[in-house]
Amino acid sequence: MQWARKQTPGFTIVELIIVVVVIAILAAVVIVGYNGVTQKARATAVQNAVQQANDTIATTTLHNGGTIPSDLASAGVSNGNGITYQYSVNTASNPAGYCITASGNGVSYYMANYYTYTGATTTTLSQTSPAAGACPGHGVNGIAAVTNMLTNPNFDLGVTTGWVGTNATISLSTAQAHSGTNSLKVVTNGSVAAEGVIAVVPSPGTMPGNTYSGGIWVWAPTGSTLYLVTRTSGAAAQDSAQTIITGNNTWQFYTANNKLAQSDATSLQIHVRTKSVQSTTFYVDDGIVIQGTQVTGYGDGNTPNWVWNGAPNASTSTGPAS
C-alpha cells in the first residue's frame, strides 16, 4: 500500500522579497526616529547649558553691582560634560553687554545681553532665549574660530599700509578689486626672480613653536607664473612650501599652509612673487594669515559672523573658519 506524502506549503520568492522589503522599511523608520530623538536630546542639552551659563553670568553681574564678569572663570562657568563655551564682553558700550555661545555634539546655541560688536556694521545684539548658532566672532557647530592677523587685509580704507613691494611698484586699483572697492596692483621690474609683494603681520606676538598659514586672492595674467609662501623670520628667513600660481586672467584663492616658526622667529609675512625673471602686472586682494595648520578660506570683519577686533578694515578680525 502506497501512502501519499503531505505537501507543506512554503513561501514563494515574491513573498520573501515582500517580507524583506517590509522589514527594511520598518528598520529605516525606527533608525530615523531614533536619530531624530537623539539629535533633539543633544540640542536640548546645549540649550540648557547656555541658559544655565547665562543665568550664572546675570547673577554674578547682579552681585557685582552691575559689573559684567570679564571672563567665564570670574562667573564660575567652565567647560565640562561635553560642552565648551565662548564668551565676549563689551564694557566700552553703553550699556555694557556680553554674548555667550555653548557648543557640544556638533551644535551651538547662544544668548546675548546688549552685546555691541562691529562687523560689516556696528550692531547691538540681544537674545534672551537660546538661539541656534553662535555669537559673532565665535566658532559654531564644531567649527573653531580663527583670527585673521592682517590689519589691512582688503584695502577698503584706500591705503597700502602693511604691504611692501620687493623690486616692484605697488598701488591701489579699482579696476580689478576682488571684493569691496580696491585691490593692490603689483608691477614687477623684471630684473630678477622673486619680485612681488609682501604682507607683514604687524604684531605677531610670541611665535616660536607655533604654526602659521596664509592665503590670498590673486589675479594674474595668462602666461605668468608666481608663487605664494608663508614666511617666519628670525636670524634667517624660513618659508613654507611654495604654492605655484598659474595666471589665467581670473581671481583665484591660494594658500600656503603649516609653517612652523623657528626658535628665534619674530617676524611673520606672506609673499606673492614671480617664479622667474619676468616683467608682469598682477593684483592681490583679501589676504589672511592665521595661527594654525591650514587656511580653508578667506574671512575678515566684513564676512558674515566675523567681527573686527578694532577699527573696521584696519585691525585683526575673528570668526568661524570657512
Q: 279-315: per-residue pLDDT in tens?
A: 999 999 999 999 999 999 999 999 999 999 999 999 9
35's enclosing H/E stretch is helix 13-63
Question: For residues 139 and 14, what is the distance between their CA atoms, to the nearest angstrom?
Answer: 53
| Average pLDDT of the segment spanning 314-322 | 95
Task: Please confirm whether the linkage preceding 204 is cis (ω < 30° from 0).
Answer: no
Please report which confidence band the pLDDT of residue 63 belongs to, taking 50, 70 and 90 as the band edges: very high
Query: What ranges do the domains of the chain cover?
Result: 47-143, 148-305
User: Does residue 165 sit in helix, strand or coil?
Assistant: strand
What is the length of the chain? 322
Please report which confidence band the pLDDT of residue 247 belongs to, taking 50, 70 and 90 as the band edges: very high
Q: Which three cell numbers stand for residue 317?
A: 578680525
Please report which confidence band the pLDDT of residue 22 belongs to, taking 50, 70 and 90 as the band edges: confident
**More confident position, 62 or 14:** 62
3-state secondary structure 264-321: CCCEEEEEEEECCCCCCEEEEEEEEEEECCCCCCCCCCCCCCCEECCCCCCCCEEEEC
Q: Above 80 in pLDDT, residue 199? A: yes
pLDDT of residue 1: 45
Question: For residues 70 and 98, what is the distance between their CA atoms, to the nearest angstrom?
Answer: 9
pLDDT of residue 134: 98
| Average pLDDT of the segment spanning 187-196 | 97
Pairing, β 107-118 against β 122-132: antiparallel
**How does 111-147 read in b/e, with b if 16+ C-beta sit within 10 Å?**
bbbbbbbbbeeeeebebeebeebbbbbbbbeebebbb
pLDDT of residue 10: 63
Q: Specify whether domain 148-305 bears CATH 2.60.120.260.
A: yes
Average pLDDT for the chain: 93
Question: For residues 255 and 289, what is the distance between their CA atoms, to the nearest angstrom?
Answer: 10
pLDDT of residue 246: 97
Q: Above 70 in pLDDT, residue 320? A: yes
| Average pLDDT of the segment spanning 108-133 | 97
| Average pLDDT of the segment spanning 188-216 | 97
Q: Above 60 in pLDDT, residue 2? A: no
pLDDT of residue 27: 67
Q: Above 60 in pLDDT, residue 125? A: yes
Question: For residues 194 and 280, what is the distance between their CA atoms, to the nearest angstrom?
Answer: 12
**Residues with Cβ < 8 Å from 175, sequence gap 6 or more?**
none
pLDDT of residue 9: 62
